[in-house]
Amino acid sequence: MAGALDAEAAFQAKNYTEAYKEWMALAQKGDAAAQFNVGFLYSSGLGVPLDYSKAAEWWDKAADQNMAVAELKLGLLYSWGKGVQLDDTKAAELWRRAAMQGLSEAQQYLGYVYSVGKGVPQSGADATLWLTRAAEQGNVDAQINLGAAYLTGEIVDKNPKLAFHWYEKAAQLNNGKAQFNVGLMYLKGVGVEQNADVAVQWLKRSAAQGYRGAEEALDRIQAALKKT
């Protein structure tokens, strides 16, 4: 326990070499959290040279102990082909393991790969299931993907009200893209009762974050008002 506390204190003080030394000693004894942290240092080049293959090696050890965040990160390496041979099937398998433990980011990735058929058979039902589980935990990416899915009807039956519901959730978490979509839906009355004033409020919030589409939409609204 003392080693873990020492490692954390060194890491917080940005003494990464000392943090590596303390975590490595624990990792070699089979401590899953330390194994994950050693992998993180290698993946970031902190206290050690950047080395994705060593990051993968240590995350694999932690993943073997069912550590969800290690399964998530190792899955990302497999999906990118960094430090390991690119393997979408292996990535999806690791994300499933982490998703089953309730990790929202893994649920979001798993939902995405089901939606496009990457490493798993394409399945709108499975995509919607996992994206919804992630979205219900407040995962903004999942909320946006669900909003798009219900708006387009490509992987699930079209449902503008549910599209609005999930875009609004992400917008309330201050996501500029979601705020833009909520603004447009209010403007056009899609999935929600039309309200130009509320639309402008959401578009302004989106524009304030530098979302270009929102600025363009506000310009169009202003131009239309000048004509009336």
Alpha carbons within 13 angstroms on the beta-carbon side of residue 195 total 10
What confidence tier does 228 reach under pLDDT thresholds 50, 70, 90?
low
Do 186 and 156 share a structural domain? no
Q: Which two tokens stand for residue 218?
A: 């506000």
Is the pLDDT assigned to residue 222 strictly greater than 90? no
Where are the extended beta strands (E) located within the chain?
Answer: none
Give 188-217 pLDDT, tens digit per residue: 999 999 999 999 999 999 999 999 899 899
**What pTM did the predictor assign?**
0.91
* Domain CATH for 117: 1.25.40.10
* Domain CATH for 25: 1.25.40
Give 50-64 pLDDT, tens digit per residue: 999 999 999 999 999
Domain boundary among 82, 114, 132: 82
What confidence tier does 77 reach under pLDDT thresholds 50, 70, 90?
very high
Do 202 and 159 share a structural domain? no
pLDDT score of 2: 64
CA distance 25 to 16: 14
Do 37 and 8 share a structural domain? yes
Burial class for 221, CB neighbours closer than 10 Å (0-12, 13-18, 19+): middle
pLDDT score of 63: 98
Do 76 and 22 share a structural domain? yes
Residue 27, amino acid: A
pLDDT, average across residues 26-30 = 97
Q: If you write DSSP's letter for every residue of 167-206 in order, what string do you get?
A: HHHHHHTT-HHHHHHHHHHHHHTSSS---HHHHHHHHHHH
Q: Is the residue at 91 inside a domain?
A: no
pLDDT score of 1: 58
Do 133 and 68 share a structural domain? no
Q: Is the residue at 140 inside a domain?
A: yes
Q: If you write DSSP's letter for every residue of 26-55 in order, what string do you get?
A: HHTTT-HHHHHHHHHHHHHTSSS---HHHH
pLDDT score of 124: 96
pLDDT, average across residues 78-95 = 98
pLDDT score of 64: 98
Range of the domain at 165: 102-173
Do 8 and 31 share a structural domain? yes
Count how many domains the chain has.
3
Do 45 and 6 share a structural domain? yes
Is the pLDDT assigned to residue 226 strictly greater than 80? no
Do 164 and 116 share a structural domain? yes
pLDDT, average across residues 174-191 = 96
pLDDT score of 65: 98
Give 150-170 pLDDT, tens digit per residue: 999 999 999 999 999 999 999
CA distance 158 to 172: 23
pLDDT, average across residues 95-101 = 98
Q: Which two tokens stand for residue 57?
A: 């090696």
Do 18 and 69 share a structural domain? yes
What confidence tier does 3 reach under pLDDT thresholds 50, 70, 90?
confident
